[in-house]
Amino acid sequence: MRRGKRPARGWRPQTLRGILLALGLIVVALVVERFVPPLTGAVRVADGDSLEIEGERVRLEGIDAPELHQDCGEGLTAWPCGMKARGALAALVARGEVSCRPMDEDRYGRAVARCAVEGADIGAELVRQGWAVALGLAYRAEERAAKSAGAGIWSGPFEMPADWRARHPRPAE
């Protein structure tokens, strides 16, 4: 009777690589948290998911809001959801001091950051109010709640911001 191979004991190379990668990401996050100062100061809202703090352009991480010139709805019921999303962000940042923690940089040279106003996560609040969609896994619960409530852009038909941008590319600079 032939016996099967026994499973190898110890760590598999893939498992070890995964653990090392996770530890590396944790270390990077701790270094960024400790040594990269948050952006604070005077805020100017550009659109529903980007702003400027003391001249530094910032894109909110984890969300995608309608573009400034994007409309939602159809035909005679179309409404300026991009302008409404910008207004929602402006109302949030008017609540108090804004603090942004840069995490990356996008292709336009903007800092990609998690931002808070008076300790409340701005991205989470915009998604919860229905003025932005969640990207990746962040803010999925807030998106489900906004969608169920028919809040903001979820109140009727709309085109996902990424799809709208694809159909309306930026002019070459």
pLDDT range class, residue 44, cuts 50, 70, 90: very high
pLDDT score of 3 more than 90: no
Contacts for 160-163: CB closer than 8 Å, 24+ residues apart: 160/64, 160/133, 161/64, 161/65, 161/66, 161/67, 161/70, 161/133, 162/64
Asked if residues 77 and 158 have their Cβ atoms less than 8 Å apart, the reply is no
**Residue type for position 15:** T
pLDDT at 145: 98
What does pLDDT average to over the chain?
88
- Looking up tokens 């950051």 gives 113
- Looking up tokens 């903007």 gives 110
The fraction of the chain above a pLDDT of 90, given in percent, is: 69
pLDDT at 171: 76
pLDDT at 156: 94
List of domains in the chain: 39-167 (2.40.50.90)
5-18 residue pLDDT tens: 555 566 566 776 77
105-143 residue pLDDT tens: 999 899 999 999 999 999 999 999 999 999 989 999 999
Question: How far apart (Å, rounded) are the C-alpha atoms in residues 70 and 40?
Answer: 29
pTM of the model: 0.78
